[in-house]
Amino acid sequence: MAKIKLLVDTDVFIEYFNHGKFSALFDSPEFDVHYSIVTRKELLTKPGLKDSEKKAIENVLALFRAIFLNVQITERYTDLRRRYPALEKEDGLIAATALARRLPLVTRNRKHFQFIQGLTLFSPK
């Protein structure tokens, strides 16, 4: 059976790291978890992060698929920023990644993305 491919937003990873939430998502063999390189940046540049915490984050991220920015994603991003000027830069890059790769976005911050046409959103349980 094919795995379900998902792009996971930064906020879901934060809840997983801080409170152990959504382990069913991250630990399940049913899902093929992807994340934007923007998520990696957001997680690893948090002020006050200890070296041990950075290493732990890197170890978890290594289990999943990073998606790096490319021409297709940056073109989508440019279009999103033009159409939705209030869209935050990082959210725009994550949304552009989901759209360009045709992946549903798993996020707890639906309000950041719900107005973007063509973007499929899921809220984790």
Please tell me the total count of domains within the chain: 1
- Residue 36 CA to residue 85 CA, distance in Å, equals 21
pLDDT in tens, 36-45: 999 999 999 9
Structural domain containing residue 98: 4-122
pLDDT in tens, 59-96: 999 999 999 999 999 999 999 999 999 999 999 999 99
Query: What pLDDT shows up at residue 64?
Result: 98
CATH of the domain at 77: 3.40.50.1010
Residues 6+ apart with CB under 8 A from 104: 6, 7, 98, 120, 121, 122
Residue of 53, 55, 54, 65 whose CA lies nearest to 26:
65
Model pTM?
0.95
